[in-house]
Structure 1
Amino acid sequence: MRRGNRTDTALGLSYPRGPLTRVLRILLHTVVVVIFAGPLLALLVGAFGEVTSPTEFTLIPRGFTLGNFTRAIDRDVLLYLLNSFVVVGGGLLLQIAVSVSASYALARKRFPGMRLVFLLILSTMMLPEEILAIPLSLVLADVPVVHVNLIGSLWGMILPVAAWGFSILVMTEFMKEIPVELEESARIDGAGELRIFTAIVLPLCRPALGVIGIFGFTMIWDQYLLPLLVARDAGQFTLPLALRNLRSDEEVGLGVLLAASLLALLPSVIAFLALQRQFMKGLTAGAVKG
């Protein structure tokens, strides 16, 4: 909003208009663009460019080559990428199934100790992964009741991410906003609990499913400590863990490392683009309900 020679901002602040202000705004916008877009541009230039020195890093393209990706594939990057897809695919499916089931019980049912259960779920979000590393490794080495050793197996990376407090919290708060009258009408028509859950509640939760889908995919895809605890040989590495080995390998150049990093980045970008409509609807719905 403009008032004379001054302009009001969204925060209610005002600043004078003039050539100096315009120059400062351009400089500020340039700094913001460089901070956010600079690393991505450097990644693209390094992945597709010819890197003459392993210690030299530049934003200026020097030729175009796919040799970095070829050498990355020779280092079994595709195997690590496949392992990551298996872990994130199985983990995300289990995580969504657990989240919607637990959220339905917490949001639509009443049972003794419900607040305690919800408090325990929230408490898991406050504990750093490093604190849980040793207990988790002991549990995975001898899973209670069944006494199965999951160390050295991809299942050891999938099962621990099957439940995430953030996803349960988001789904619970979203389900609480669904009108109870819809369920009561369905029960009057003779619908059972399972049909109400699958035919009424879940379709209305699509925006929230998009939100937990994107955040869950990113969380599982970026896991580093869990694969580090579980993997016993290079054939079980996921891509984030393999990037550590590529960086420590003196025979691998900077271009190969950046090419592998670009392959690690693309799935998260594709997942966001695929679910961005539901993601934005979920954020908008949360803002309106709040």
Structure 2
Amino acid sequence: MAEFTPQTRTLISSAALSRPRGKVVYWTVLSVVLVVFTLVFIGPLYWMATSGFKNVHEVLHNPPTLYPHHPQASNYKTAWTQLQLARLLWNTVYYAFGALFFQLVLDVAAAYALSKLRPVLGNVVLGAMLATLMIPATVLVVPQYMTVLDLPILHLNLINHPWAIWLPTVANGFNIFLLKRFFDSIPQDLMAAAAIDGAGPIRTLVSVVLPMSRPILGVVSIFAVVNVWKDFLWPMLVEPDPKKQPINIGIQSLSQGVPENVLIAALAISAVPTLLIFLLFQRNIMSGLTAGSLKG
């Protein structure tokens, strides 16, 4: 008796694709879609990178030129020195990895407690955390600013202090949800075996859970660094001192009197680290997001 093999349902049947006309239509539509989406995403990056090599006249030319007719690589060197990008990059790295450290410590602890320790009203706490994701970030700007202006109980002013950037990023509901979902997929048998060996909750977290959680920890780390790196409004409010500003705000503060081509070159330099992070770790991001989706 012949074995029945279920067919995968698609928008275009395999019979239609087997015809010459079907193949032509399919590949034409696919090529057009790929080209259009590539231009949409790559176009602004190409314009920014090439405009850094143009002179002021070419940058302001309407319609814009497709490529620099007289390339000026010195624009990037001028942007690096005139806008003090080395100091601004260091400030950004300091803020980003400081936020990463505190997020990993506190978010991992919160997700582990909700997943494995199962406290009373844990689901209510998790639901409240996820509910905060529905609130637009701009709505929280004023209460967050009032908080760092006069920290409750301690009555400290955190303006121009790294904690003003780190504190709002520490308890990230989305990261806690990702970590909890992954921790839920860790077999309970491993937790029971660790308990039989005499391991307490903290030792189990360090010796069993964290070594198995490298994919999702990598994803959370990338999100934490990129979120701080690309933020603009909040650092502009809490870091008014130009010497302590991250690169996005520093470029804006020091841009007075800077030619447009040099300013665009500085913006291109500031975008390189996040692009490299994505290109180097895109596979880790996708595998980490899908990790823990199936239990077992």
Same fold (TM over 0.5): yes
Amino acid at match of 2:74: G
Q: Which of 71, 76, 96 lines up with 2:78 in the alignment?
A: 71
CA displacement 1:109-128 (0-9 Å, x = unmatched):
12222122112211221111
After superposing on structure 2, the runs of 4+ consecutive aligned residues of structure 1 that deviate more than 6 Å are none
CA drift of 1:242 comes to: 2.9
- Structure 1 69/189 Cα, relative in aligned 2: closer, same or farther at 3 Å? same
Structure-2 residue corresponding to 1:285? 291
- Out of 148, 152, 160, which is 2:160 matched to? 152
Task: Provide the rounded CA distance (Å) in 1 between the counterparts of 2:43 and 2:280.
Answer: 24
CA, structure 1 residues 288+176, in 2 after alignment: closer, same or farther (shift >3 Å)?
closer
Point out the more displaced range, 68-77 or 237-246.
Answer: 237-246
Q: Which residue pairs with 2:230 in the alignment?
A: 222
What is the rounded CA distance, in whole Å, between the counterparts of 1:129 and 1:211 in structure 2? 21
* 2:145 maps to 1:143: no
Q: Tell me what 2:105 maps to.
A: 97
Equivalent in the alignment of 1:33? 38
Counterpart residue number, 1:234: 242
Structure 2 residue 275 is matched with structure 1 residue 269? yes
Alpha-carbon distance between aligned partners in 2 of 1:22 and 1:278, rounded to the nearest angstrom: 30
Give the Cα separation in 2 of the matches to 1:289 and 1:110.
Answer: 18
Deviation, 1:277, is: 4.5
Which sits farther off after the overlay, 253-262 or 15-24? 15-24
Query: C-alpha separation between the residues in 1 aligned to 2:113 and 2:122?
Result: 9
TM-score under structure 2 normalisation?
Answer: 0.85
Percent identity between matched residues is 32
Counting only pairs closer than 5 Å after superposition, residues 1-290 of structure 1 correspond to structure 2 as 11-14=10-13, 16-17=21-22, 22-56=27-61, 57-73=64-80, 74-245=82-253, 249=256, 251-286=257-292, 288=294
Aligned to 1:3: none
Distance 1:176 1:288 in 2: 10
Q: Given the superposition, is the C-alpha separation of residues 22 and 197 from structure 1 closer, same or farther in structure 2, using an over 3 Å criterion? A: closer
| Aligned residue-pair number | 281
**C-alpha separation in 1, matches of 2:285 and 2:30:** 31
* Post-superposition offset of 1:25: 4.3
1:48 counterpart SS class: coil
Supply the RMSD in Å over aligned alpha carbons: 2.5
Rate the CA distance shift 1:160–1:21 in 2: closer, same or farther, 3 A. closer
Q: TM-score, normalised by structure 1?
A: 0.86
The alpha-carbon distance between structure 1 residues 280 and 25, as it changes in their structure 2 partners (threshold 3 A), is: closer
Note the residue ranges of structure 2 that are not aligned, 5 or more in a row. Answer: 1-6
Q: Tell me which moved more, 171-180 or 155-164.
A: 155-164
Distance in 2, Cα, partners of 1:116 & 1:18: 53
Q: Partners of 2:33 and 2:8 in 1: how far apart? A: 15
- Which has the larger displacement, 91-100 or 70-79? 70-79
The code of the aligned residue for 1:116 comes to: V
Shift of 1:24: 4.8
Question: Could you tell me how far apart the structure 1 residues matched to 2:96 and 2:115 are?
Answer: 27
Q: Quick check: 1:41–1:59 contact (8 Å CA) kept in 2?
A: no
**Contact preservation (8 Å) 1:49, 1:62:** yes
What letter matches 2:276 in structure 1? I
Unaligned runs of 5+ in 1: 1-7
Q: Offset of 1:42 from its aligned partner?
A: 1.5
CA distance in 2, matches of 1:166, 1:152: 27
Residues 32-81 of structure 1 deviation map (CA, whole Å, 9 limit, x = unaligned): 22112212222221223444344234321334433222222212222222
Letter in 2 for 1:264: S
Q: Distance in 2 between matches of 1:96 and 1:58?
A: 46
Quickly say closer, same or farther: Cα 1:287–1:124, change in 2 above 3 A: same
Determine the C-alpha separation between the residues in 2 that align with 1:204 and 1:19. 47
